Structure 1
Amino acid sequence: MATAFQIPGPVFCVVCNEELNGPHRSTCQMCGGPFHQPWLPDSDAPRCGRGASHDETLAVVFLCRDCYDNRRPPSQN
């Protein structure tokens, strides 16, 4: 049975379109898409996003590279 944090089947990075395996991934705060985010300095996972500071909430957020570089239109939910 899948929980709220488990998605059945393969999950693909919104930036490089490669499958996300293991713990080196995050979800974009802007578009909601999953992307590769290495959590260890010696990880061979691609870096498809980055952390950024959110000035209004004084929080660290994670954005995919496309949203960080303003190449992806904001999601319209």
Structure 2
Amino acid sequence: MDEIRTAAQAKAWLEHQGKSVQEFAREHGVDPATTYQVLSGRKKGKRGEAHKVAVLLGMKDGIILSPPGDATEAKK
């Protein structure tokens, strides 16, 4: 991703894909309420699930780490 999206751009991006916020949240396994809060600016996406949502929406440059013991974690 080249540019960080604003909240308005992220909403337009979802609309361009024909996805609702609810659908986006389900697809990515995140809380819909948190997604709405990030899009409205009530949550800044600094940590936790809000961070994950902001990165997935392209509103923040960052990485999403798997929690310890997650099935996607590389086996030792």
Pairwise TM-score range, normalised by the shorter structure: under 0.3
Higher helix content, 1 or 2: 2
Higher strand content, 1 or 2: 1
- RCO greater where, 1 or 2, for CA within 8 Å and sep 6 or more? 2
TM-score scaled by length of structure 1: 0.28
